[in-house]
Amino acid sequence: MNKKQISEIFHRFRHANPHPTTELVYETSFELLISVILSAQATDKSVNLATKLLFKIANTPEKIVALGEKKLKQYINSIGLYNSKAKNIIKTCQVLIEKHHSEVPDNREALEELAGVGRKTANVILNTYFGHPTIAVDTHIFRLANRIGLAHGKTPLEVEKQLTKVIAPEYIHDAHHWLILHGRYICIARKPRCPECIIKDLCEYPHKTVAS
């Protein structure tokens, strides 16, 4: 796929959705951080249902530490891996209080030192809240990029590096959200909805063989 084709893909994404953003519901950088930690191997919808109640009671590091791991689990037990996530969230809150004045840090190294925060989660925070031109490669973006020909990588990091290299600066900030939404609702795993796709003529996937 050449630069002209890639540019056209993101031109169409922008035309269809000029201001893309996460589907997680949050008001502060801390709420976004907790939501993203919870979203690993879970849907945004399930996370939003849990945090709607949780954030009414505890939406700061101090309040979540005061809530405690046992009570925290009661709010998030509808989400997959909630036991380990509760432990990580408590640890993360303690570090934020002790090392960052209860503020979410605006740099990758500090973010990745937090429990439950890897490169993907850090990229989401940096992009969505702080406006950095990062791309968080989740399962949707990894599948989508390899399938349509935007990038060909065996690991999320390989795909991230390739995407960052080939996507034009004017599109790079919003690319993360466009790709996730496209992968979540159109270019889905088992039966991609090619007839509904706005970039199907630019895609390397043999969509003509896919039923509507």
Q: Tell me how far apart the terminal alpha carbons of the chain are, to the nearest angstrom.
A: 25
How far apart CA 92 and CA 27 sit, in angstroms, is 19
Q: Where in the chain is the domain with CATH 1.10.340.30?
A: 29-128
Four-residue CA torsion sign, 85, 115, 20, 143: negative
How far apart CA 129 and CA 125 sit, in angstroms, is 5
Q: Which two tokens stand for residue 162?
A: 């390739």
Q: What is the pTM of this model?
A: 0.89
Q: Which two tokens stand for residue 5?
A: 């084709």
- Would you say 173 and 131 are in contact if contact means Cβ atoms under 8 Å apart? yes
What's domain 3-20+134-209's architecture?
Answer: Orthogonal Bundle (1.10)
What average pLDDT values come out for the chain (212 residues) when binned by 10 residues? 93 96 96 96 94 97 97 95 96 97 96 95 96 93 94 95 95 95 93 93 72 41
How far apart CA 102 and CA 94 sit, in angstroms, is 9
The question of whether 201 is a catalytic residue gets the answer no
The third-level CATH classification (topology) of the domain covering 29-128 is Endonuclease III; domain 1 (1.10.340)
The question of whether 120 is a catalytic residue gets the answer yes
The single residue of 71, 99, 120, 154 carrying the catalytic annotation is 120
What is the model's pLDDT at position 207? 54
Q: Where in the chain is the domain with CATH 1.10.1670.10?
A: 3-20+134-209
* Most distant CA pair in the chain, distance: 56
How distant, in Å, are the alpha carbons of 51, 56, 59 from that of 27?
11, 12, 10
What is the model's pLDDT at position 125? 97
What is the model's pLDDT at position 205? 86
CB under 8 Å to 143, separation ≥6 — which residues?
A: 183, 187, 189
The single residue of 85, 138, 174, 200 carrying the catalytic annotation is 138
What is the model's pLDDT at position 212? 40
